[in-house]
Amino acid sequence: MTQAIHDVLGVGNAIVDILTQADDAFLAEHGMPKGGMTLVDEAQAHAIYDAMGSGVEASGGSAANTIAGVASFGGKGAFIGRVRDDEFGKIFAHDLRSLAA
C-alpha cells in the first residue's frame, strides 16, 4: 500500500465572504433581511458590491474551512472546488495556497 499524500481531501464550493458595515436602509434597498443570508446572482452581486463601502474579503466554505483547520494543526489537506478566473477566484486561490507555506 502506498503512503497517503494528504490527510484530508475536501470537495466543496469555493466561497469568498465579503464583510462590510451596512445600515438597515442599505439592506432593505437590496432586499436582504437583517441577520440572514441571501444568495444572489452575478448581477445582484455586482450591484451590491458597487454600492457598498469598503469591505474585507475572507475565503471560506465548509470544505475549505475544514482544510484550513487541518493545516492549522499541522495536517496535510487538499481542496477540490471550482473558482472563476476573476478577482475573487484569485483571492480564494491565494488564500488556500498560503496555508501550505
Q: What is the pLDDT of residue 101?
A: 61
* 11: confidence class by pLDDT, cuts 50, 70, 90: very high
pLDDT, one tens digit per residue, over 57-82 is 889 899 999 999 999 999 999 999 99
pLDDT, one tens digit per residue, over 81-95 is 998 898 889 999 998
44 phi, psi to nearest 5 deg: -65, -40
The three-state DSSP-derived secondary structure of 25-62 is HHHHHCCCCCCCCCCCCHHHHHHHHHHCCCCEEEEECH
